[in-house]
Structure 1
Amino acid sequence: MVVWPAQVLLPIALVIAGTVVAGSGDSMERVENSGEDDGRSTERPGLVCPCTQGCCANAWFQYKDACYLPVTGDTHDWSTVKENCERFGTHLASVHSDDEQSFIFHLMGQRTRYWIGAEGTDDPAAPWRWTDNSTWQYEKFGQPLRPSNPPIPMALAVNRSKNKGIYWINAPKSNQHMYVCKYLLY
């Protein structure tokens, strides 16, 4: 493998699905396409990025049309981490597919017991909701969730076992876990 000195590296430009990401090293800039149709279609033209950090703020990582910040240094209760994400203008991460769940799990260093952005409600027809108000269309519970007696404010944390893989558990909001924040690029 050839290792080039930093002075020799040329600026790069990548064109993918209507977006140009240009720059060199760790300085990337997203530039919108002129609008000419090349026959390819995407769900959100101009928001696809070929790099893990090029379209997101510094220290955030991109998956599809969202950016994620893994917070693994300290553990906090659910209300504190919810407020921490909101200070960034973001939310605790909502999860909408197995692929997104896997991405977040690996982003968190394959750690278990971290908070995601779901909390319990008093509505039996919709017992969980995402803090970012996105649609509840995916869930990954490892076992049937039992209500606590007496009722305790609950939220979802991620767990992993050899038999069940990655799954969600309900946990008292007072528990201490790491967490992941998320914001959408559009």
Structure 2
Amino acid sequence: MMQEKPPQGKAVCWTLRLWSVAVISMLLLSVCFIASCKVTYQFMMDTPNRRLSKLHTYHSNLTCFSEGTMVSDKVWSCCPKDWKPFGSHCYFISTDLEASWNKSKEKCSHMGAHLVVIHSQEEQDFITGILKTDAGYFIGLLDAGDRQWQWIDQTPYKKSATFWHKGEPSNDYEKCVIINHRKSIGWGWNDIDCSDKENSVCQMKKIYL
């Protein structure tokens, strides 16, 4: 006995449903690619990216943003969760425990980062825009001796791209630097004793997927 074939109308209806689901899915993906999308990336223990594997020691997940205007140009740039992205770097404001410059450096290092290094007015403005005006924050700049200022990542110190308060640096024994806010003057850099306890700003390069 021959099996009866399903009515043609039902088959057409089922096919249309499948196509509708496929088209809607493609549209949603297209919108996500065209817009600037944000996703949370959970670390995989078997990831082949060495830096991702290393960061997994310090951070449980990343927040990723799509970059580029065309679908073919899309790249995912990522920062650890709760870090702020700017340019090619991620920034973390440490306010949970004030510490000396050396302790602040260690805290950043334990998160796979270093104290912030600032090389432009745009970066300075971004950082000060996320800080509290009633606190000071250590940055990765110190006096290596004889007032020879040195960045923690060994990049060149350029006087043309510094943001000292007027009259600073002021004392030879103050060898570490903070960003702080002064009333009627605004944000700037101030040299202080390295043993003073302050908040800090950590920095790391973005992860690209």
Same topology, TM > 0.5: yes
Classify the secondary structure of the residue corresponding to 1:99: helix
Return closer, same or farther for 1:36/1:131 CA change in 2, 3 Å cut-off: same
Q: Is the 8 A contact 1:72 1:108 kept in 2?
A: no
User: Contact 1:14–1:22 (CA<8 Å) still a contact in 2?
Assistant: no
One-letter code aligned to 1:112: A
In the alignment, what sits opposite 1:90? 113
Residue 102 of structure 2: SS of its match in structure 1? Answer: helix
Q: Deviation at 1:36?
A: 5.0
Give the corresponding residue for 2:154.
Answer: 133
| Whole-angstrom CA distance in 1 between matches of 2:153 and 2:138 | 14
CA change 1:28–1:75 in 2 (3 A) is: closer
Distance 1:141 1:28, change over 3 A: closer
Measure, in 2, the Cα distance between the counterparts of 1:117 and 1:168.
Answer: 12
TM-score (norm 1): 0.69
Alignment correspondent of 1:13: 32
Aligned twin of 1:108: 131
Query: In the aligned structure 1, how far is the partner of 2:113 from the partner of 2:63?
Result: 22
1:170-185 → structure 2 map (5 Å cutoff): 170-185=191-206
- What is the deviation of 1:107? 1.8
Deviation string, structure 1 residues 4-37 (Cα, Å, up to 9, x no partner): xxxxxx7861447xxx74548xx85557889957
Is residue 80 of structure 1 aligned with residue 80 of structure 2?
A: no
Q: Percent identity?
A: 23
The unaligned stretches of length 5 or more in structure 1 are 1-9, 38-44, 50-54
With over 3 angstroms needed to count, the CA separation of the structure-2 counterparts of 1:28 and 1:153, relative to structure 1, is: closer
Shift of 1:171: 0.4
Q: TM-score, normalised by structure 2?
A: 0.62
1:62-103 Cα distance to aligned partner (Å, 9 max, x none)? 011100011112100100000111111210001112221122
Letter aligned with residue 146 of structure 1? S
* 1:67–1:184 contact (8 Å) kept in structure 2: yes
Give distance in 1, aligned partners of 2:80 and 2:121: 25
Shift of 1:56: 0.7
What 5-or-longer segments of structure 2 have no aligned partner?
1-27, 41-61
Task: Flag the 1:31–1:170 CA change in 2: closer, same or farther, 3 A.
Answer: closer
Query: Which whole-Å CA distance do the structure 2 matches of 1:179 and 1:36 have between them?
Result: 38
Task: Confirm whether residue 146 of structure 1 aligns to residue 146 of structure 2.
Answer: no
Please tell me whether the aligned partners of residues 105 and 111 of structure 1 are also in contact (alpha carbons under 8 angstroms): no
CA drift of 1:153 comes to 5.9
Q: How many residues align?
A: 155
**Larger Rg: 1 or 2?**
2
- TM-superposed CA distance for 1:113, in Å, is 1.1
Matched to 1:145, the amino acid is: P
Alpha-carbon distance in structure 2 between the residues aligned to 1:96 and 1:103: 12
Distance in 1 separating the partners of 2:186 and 2:63? 36
1:99 matched to 2:122: yes
Letter in 2 for 1:82: K
